[in-house]
Each structure stands twice: as structure tokens, then as C-alpha cells.
Chains A and B, each alone.
Chain A
Amino acid sequence: MNQQRRSLLKYSAIFGLMASAGLISVAQAQEWNKAAFEGKSLDDVFKILGASSPDKSSAVTLNAPDIAENGAVVPVGIVTTLKADQMAILVEKNPSSLAAQFFIPAGTEPFVTTRIKMGQTSNVYALVKADGKWSMAVKEVKVTLGGCGG
């Protein structure tokens, strides 16, 4: 009786450990890049991402509207013909420049579309990392109604 109880305790302890280990790997598989998202200026973010001075490239296409009526919802898409493994969307005049970053495993097309907030009219940057090198495309989006303030 005692023996059984003991082994039961032992097993539940092991399962508990396994569960917590599993949780950790799910939550931290991609550690959120706090420094990059808190970078205030374009240069800060470029530096943190390791893209000191990305070249403008015609291989990178940034799909964004010329004029966004509502800065709270601006559709932005990145497409590239490069073999991209990372992509990032930056807004120059937002309080924090980096809006989103994507990691593209092999087999996934270098194509991402999402929607972002813009506080005011600003240049939007699409960054693409391919073969260890960053390239970018820039487009100015005019905002008639800001999406960051209250």
C-alpha cells in the first residue's frame, strides 16, 4: 500500500515537471524581442536586428495604401522574390518603430499581409532578410486620422 502511494507520488511529480517543461518550450520557442520592439527610432531597430544600413531593393515590394483614412487599421503587405527568412514592418514616426516581425521557415512563401496602426503620416519600411543580408522597400502612407492616440 505504502509502496504504491510512493510510486504514484513519484510519477505525478515527473508528469508535473514534463508539463511545465512543455509549457516553457511553447511559450518561449520564439522569445519576444523586447529590445527591438522598444526601439524608438528606425536606427535603433536596424541596429538591434543587425541591419545597420539595409539597401533599397526592387526585389522587395511593400503593399500599402497611399492614403489611409483610418490610422488604426492600415493594411500592409510584404512580398519579395528573394529567399527571405525574416521580414519586418517598421513605421518611422510611430512611438516604437517596429510593428511586426516574421520568421519564414523553408517551404513558406515570402509573402505576409497584416494590418497595423499608424499615429500619423509616415514612411513605412518593409525589411527582408535573405542570405544573411537585409533589403528594404519604403513607402509613405498619409494618415488622415491617427490610430495611436486617444
Chain B
Amino acid sequence: MADPMRVRAAESGGIVDVKILMKHDMESGQRKDAAGKTIPAWFISTINVKANGKDVLNGQFGPAVSKDPFLNFKYKGAKGDKIVVSWVDSKGDKRTDEATAS
């Protein structure tokens, strides 16, 4: 199981600012190990963010997104919104974490 994400959501003036830090190696498939063999790509491919059960962002990542991906976006919402972030990586691993807008 992958490490937990850090999710922060702060409401101000009807806009919720969401910051997500995912924990993932995001192996690009370009690097080589000590023996000169290519390390296969392994990265978060899709991410979904819901607020109170409704989609607020869908994203697709390629291997060119940095290690431990960071994501910041804003949506129209309110304090107390329940935010659920889930990702799936290229090996089919999944992780879901929750936060409450403050």
C-alpha cells in the first residue's frame, strides 16, 4: 500500500483552495540502474478529486510529472466540504485520502 497523501483545503470567499501532495516515486522509464538496465516506468496515471461526492477535478499524469506529485487547484465550495482524493498508478496501485475544507 502506498504512503498517505497530504491534502489541505482552505476556504476563502466561496473558493476552496486545495493542495495535494502525493507520495510516489514517479519512475520515468528513462533512468538506468547501476547495471545499465532501464528502470521500468511506474507513475500515477489518473487522479480524481471529489468534494461532497461531486467531481471537482480529474487529472491524468504522464511519467514527466515530478516525484511526489504536487497539485494545487481551486473550486467553488464551502467550509466543511468533504474532499476525497484518489489516484491510480500504472501498476494498478490505488490510494484514497480525505480532508475537510477549513
The interface residues of chain B lying within 8 Å CB-to-CB of A32 are: 45-46, 60, 90
Give the residue of A72, A102, A103 whose beta carbon is less than 8 angstroms from that of B66: A72
Cβ of A111 and Cβ of B74 under 8 Å apart?
Answer: yes
A30-B46, A102-B58 given as contacts; is B64 within 8 A of A94 (CB)? yes
Closest partner residue, chain B, to A108 (CB atom): B75
* Interface residues of A, Cβ cutoff 8 Å to B: 26-27, 29-30, 32-33, 37, 72-75, 77, 91, 94-96, 98-105, 107-109, 111-119, 147-150
The interface residues of chain B lying within 8 Å CB-to-CB of A75 are: 70
Interface of B is mostly: strand
The interface residues of chain B lying within 8 Å CB-to-CB of A149 are: 30-31
Cβ of A108 and Cβ of B57 under 8 Å apart?
Answer: yes
Q: Does B10 contact A (CB under 8 A)?
A: no
Cβ of A27 and Cβ of B88 under 8 Å apart?
Answer: yes
Give the residue of A98, A100, A150 whose beta carbon is less than 8 angstroms from that of B59: A100
Chain B residues 4 to 61 lying within 8 A of chain A, measured CB to CB, are 15, 26, 28, 30-33, 39, 45-46, 48, 54-61
Alpha-carbon distance A115/B56, docked complex (angstroms) = 20
Q: Does B62 contact A (CB under 8 A)?
A: yes
Cβ of B67 and Cβ of A114 under 8 Å apart?
Answer: no
The interface residues of chain A lying within 8 Å CB-to-CB of B63 are: 37, 96, 117
Cβ of B60 and Cβ of A105 under 8 Å apart?
Answer: no
Q: Does B76 contact A (CB under 8 A)?
A: yes
How distant is A90 from chain B, measured CB to nearest CB, in Å? 9
The interface residues of chain B lying within 8 Å CB-to-CB of A107 are: 54, 56, 75-77
The interface residues of chain A lying within 8 Å CB-to-CB of B71 are: 112-114
Q: Pick the most buried of B15, B64, B70, B88: most chain A CB atoms within 10 A of its CB.
A: B64
How distant is B31 from chain A, measured CB to nearest CB, in Å? 4
The interface residues of chain B lying within 8 Å CB-to-CB of A77 are: 72
The interface residues of chain A lying within 8 Å CB-to-CB of B100 are: none
Cβ of A99 and Cβ of B64 under 8 Å apart?
Answer: yes
How distant is B35 from chain A, measured CB to nearest CB, in Å? 12
A30-B60, A100-B60, A113-B71 given as contacts; is B55 within 8 A of A105 (CB)? yes
The interface residues of chain A lying within 8 Å CB-to-CB of B59 are: 100-103, 112
Closest partner residue, chain B, to A32 (CB atom): B45
